[in-house]
């Protein structure tokens, strides 16, 4: 049994630097008594350069890592994200289709009363589910940011995440990790891997620094999966049978009017073979069509994206990205651990990439092995938890496709085929057809999407729950009426306090929080 003194991270994309920050924060000590954290990245192999949407958990991470929110907003072209607006997901364009926000990052107040059954009974009238149970949809529609200049960093009047420039974020994390957290940074290309007799990775060969040794190697080489895949031969489990999209065309679009209002939410617009993301940053939009190569060609996809952008990017060539959809059979194999795209990826809907990589990096740092003897046990737990997290992500994302009523293309029709749907999701939907979901339906340690997230998507997409056998349980209609009225009133009141989104960002950049 040997103490772990050296960790080597290979890859300097967002995942690599997030991992470096989490590990160094917990394990590095300037006097040398802790763990040496070193990151090597290639100066020639670019990072993937997409990944601009986040979820609120990123706020806790930034704060925990000691990154200033003002600095982050100034340096990474950050805007606030309060939700995702789903356009044309329920029905095809031209048919009446509710465009709904999910998940409003403000959750319904279930502790006071779950309004869902009362809403299902029609007690809120024509009001959408999101507007009936929270204020944030109205704040988004009105174009306001989530906070005023009076709230300290990381606090808001509504809950929020961010949109960010991925390349600038990696630069900020690099500086933070190297200057404040003691991470060593090397530039070089990693080639061959040398194994020890017991099957552990003993060293990696680099062009600029010769052979590098470590006790633990973290693979953050993106879809290349240089260590966990190429070297350790851990198989990849594809999930294309459930998640159909496998390509993206991404393009950064300049604003026509640099003073145009910036949406305070991601816009996700369904298309015949996938969907288009549209993210407003301070200086530009980040957009892209995520589509299935089984259901459309690259040329057709390009035409769809160009039509969506209405001439705004005709002078630009979108970048084509091939996505490996699925995850590794194991994420921790002997002394090699995969974090980031090398670990797994399903698709960008709901911004699960950074969320999972950040959560698993934190989990690794928090439960870091005291010595080599406990590594097999920890690896087994890590593998089981991360696999469950990915399965939960897949269930949740599939839900959006499975509930769609679009019948205008084979892509949408086939997505509704139960054979393409995980049994766990089918079981839940069978239950929820007769009763509203409860917290007991969510029990994983690393539960990525919870009851509230499901409520927003299920009822935003008009999932039918038949409550006819349970009317006797709806004993608080008066309280429900008061709460529906409260949210209407509160949304109006908040709008008198909040600033338009672009104005809020300008002030933060100028004065700081």
Residues that bind ligand FAD (CB under 6 A): 10-16, 40-42, 45, 47-48, 50-54, 166, 189-190, 220-222, 224, 226, 248, 250, 288, 290, 321, 323, 340-341, 348, 351, 353-354, 357
Asked if 312 and 257 touch (Cβ cutoff 8 Å), the reply is: no
Q: Toward ligand FAD, which CB reaches closer, 305 or 354?
A: 354
Residue 204 exposed, middle or buried by CB count within 10 Å (0-12, 13-18, 19+): buried
What secondary structure letter does DSSP report for 337?
E
Burial 318-342 (b: 16+ CB within 10 A, else e): beebebbbbbbebbbbbbbbbbbbb
For the question of residue 91 being annotated catalytic, the response is no
Q: Toward ligand FAD, which CB reaches closer, 47 or 292?
A: 47
Report the alpha-carbon distance of residue 12 to residue 19 in Å, rounded.
10
What secondary structure letter does DSSP report for 437?
-
Minimum gap (Å) between residue 415 Cβ and ligand FAD: 19
Minimum gap (Å) between residue 18 Cβ and ligand FAD: 8
Provide the H-helix boundaries in 227-289.
Answer: none
Minimum gap (Å) between residue 90 Cβ and ligand FAD: 22
Between the CA of residue 499 and those of 143, 183, 314, 507, what are the distances in Å? 9, 39, 33, 10
Q: Toward ligand FAD, which CB reaches closer, 133 or 172?
A: 172
Minimum gap (Å) between residue 46 Cβ and ligand FAD: 7
Bridge-based pairing of strands 36-41 and 236-238 is: unpaired
Q: Whose structure tokens read 């980040």?
A: 286
Q: Toward ligand FAD, which CB reaches closer, 43 or 370?
A: 43
Minimum gap (Å) between residue 378 Cβ and ligand FAD: 22
- CA 266 to centroid of chain Cα atoms: 12
Beta bridge partners of 79: 163
Q: Toward ligand FAD, which CB reaches closer, 62 or 351?
A: 351
Bridge-based pairing of strands 161-163 and 79-81 is: antiparallel
Minimum gap (Å) between residue 485 Cβ and ligand FAD: 36
Minimum gap (Å) between residue 44 Cβ and ligand FAD: 7
The secondary structure of the chain in percent helix, strand, coil, rounded to multiples of 5, reads 40, 20, 40
Q: Toward ligand FAD, which CB reaches closer, 68 or 189?
A: 189
Minimum gap (Å) between residue 341 Cβ and ligand FAD: 4
Strand order in the sheet with 184-187: 184-187, 36-41, 6-10, 216-219, 336-338, 332-333
Minimum gap (Å) between residue 84 Cβ and ligand FAD: 10
Three-state secondary structure readout of 145-163: CCCCCCCCCCCCCCCCEEE
Phi, psi of 451 (to 5 degrees): -50, -50
Bridge-based pairing of strands 266-271 and 84-87 is: parallel
Asked if 325 and 245 touch (Cβ cutoff 8 Å), the reply is: yes
Q: Toward ligand FAD, which CB reaches closer, 40 or 104?
A: 40
Phi/psi-derived region of residue 125, left when phi > 0, alpha when psi is between -120 and 50, beta in every other case: left
For 318, residues 6+ apart whose C-beta sits below 8 A from its C-beta are: 249, 250, 251, 288, 289, 302, 305
Phi, psi of 85 (to 5 degrees): -100, 120
Minimum gap (Å) between residue 422 Cβ and ligand FAD: 21
Among residues 6, 26, 81, 147, the one annotated as catalytic is 81
The helix/strand/coil state of 190 is: strand
Nearest to 73 by CA among 156, 172, 144: 172
Q: Toward ligand FAD, which CB reaches closer, 45 or 513?
A: 45
Nearest to 21 by CA among 345, 505, 362, 258: 362
- Residues with a catalytic annotation lie at 81
């Amino acid at each position: 049994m040997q103490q772990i003194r050296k960790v080597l991270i290979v890859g300097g994309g967002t995942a690599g630097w997030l991992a470096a920050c989490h590990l160094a924060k917990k394990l590095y000590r300037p006097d040398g008594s802790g763990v040496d954290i070193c990151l090597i990245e290639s100066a020639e192999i670019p990072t993937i350069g997409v990944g601009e949407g986040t979820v609120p958990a990123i706020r806790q991470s930034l704060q925990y890592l000691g990154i200033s929110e003002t600095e982050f907003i100034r340096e990474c072209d950050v805007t606030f994200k309060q939700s995702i607006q789903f356009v044309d997901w329920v029905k095809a364009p031209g048919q009446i289709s509710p465009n709904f926000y999910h998940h409003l990052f403000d959750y319904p107040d279930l502790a006071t009363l779950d309004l869902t059954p009362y809403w299902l009974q029609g007690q809120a009238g024509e009001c959408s589910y999101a507007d009936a149970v929270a204020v944030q949809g109205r704040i988004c529609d009105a174009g306001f940011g989530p906070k005023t200049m009076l709230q300290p960093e990381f606090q808001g009047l509504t809950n929020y995440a961010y949109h960010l420039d991925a390349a600038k974020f990696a630069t900020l994390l690099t500086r933070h990790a190297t200057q404040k957290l003691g991470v060593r940074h090397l530039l070089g290309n990693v080639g061959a891997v040398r194994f020890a007799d017991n099957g552990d990775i003993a060293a990696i060969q680099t062009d600029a620094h010769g052979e590098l040794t470590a006790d633990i190697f973290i693979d953050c080489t993106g879809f290349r999966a240089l260590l966990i895949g190429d070297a350790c031969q851990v198989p990849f489990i594809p999930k294309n049978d459930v998640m159909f999209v496998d390509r993206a065309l991404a393009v950064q679009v300049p604003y026509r009017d640099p003073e145009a209002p910036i949406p305070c939410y991601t816009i996700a617009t369904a298309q015949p073979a996938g969907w288009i993301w549209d993210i407003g940053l301070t200086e530009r939009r980040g957009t892209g069509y995520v589509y299935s190569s089984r259901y459309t060609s690259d040329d057709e996809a390009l035409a769809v994206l160009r039509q969506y952008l209405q001439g705004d990017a005709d002078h630009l060539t979108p970048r084509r990205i091939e996505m490996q959809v699925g995850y590794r059979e194991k994420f921790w194999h002997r002394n090699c651990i995969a974090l980031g795209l090398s670990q797994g990826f399903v698709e960008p809907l709901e911004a699960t990439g950074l969320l999972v990589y950040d959560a698993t990096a934190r989990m690794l740092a928090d439960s870091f092995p005291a010595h080599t003897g406990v590594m097999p046990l920890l690896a087994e737990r890590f593998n089981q938890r991360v696999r469950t997290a990915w399965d939960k992500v897949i269930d949740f994302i599939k839900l959006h496709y499975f509930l769609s009523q679009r019948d205008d293309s084979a892509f949408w029709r086939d997505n509704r085929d139960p054979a393409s749907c995980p049994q766990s999701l089918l079981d839940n939907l069978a239950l929820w057809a007769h009763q509203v979901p409860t917290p007991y339906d969510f029990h994983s340690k690393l539960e990525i999407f919870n009851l509230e997230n499901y409520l927003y998507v299920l009822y935003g997409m008009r999932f039918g729950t038949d409550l006819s056998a349970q009317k006797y349980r709806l004993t608080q209609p008066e309280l429900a009426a008061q709460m529906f009225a409260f949210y209407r009133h509160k949304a109006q009141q908040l709008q008198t306090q909040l600033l338009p989104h672009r104005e809020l960002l300008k002030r933060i950049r100028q004065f700081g929080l």
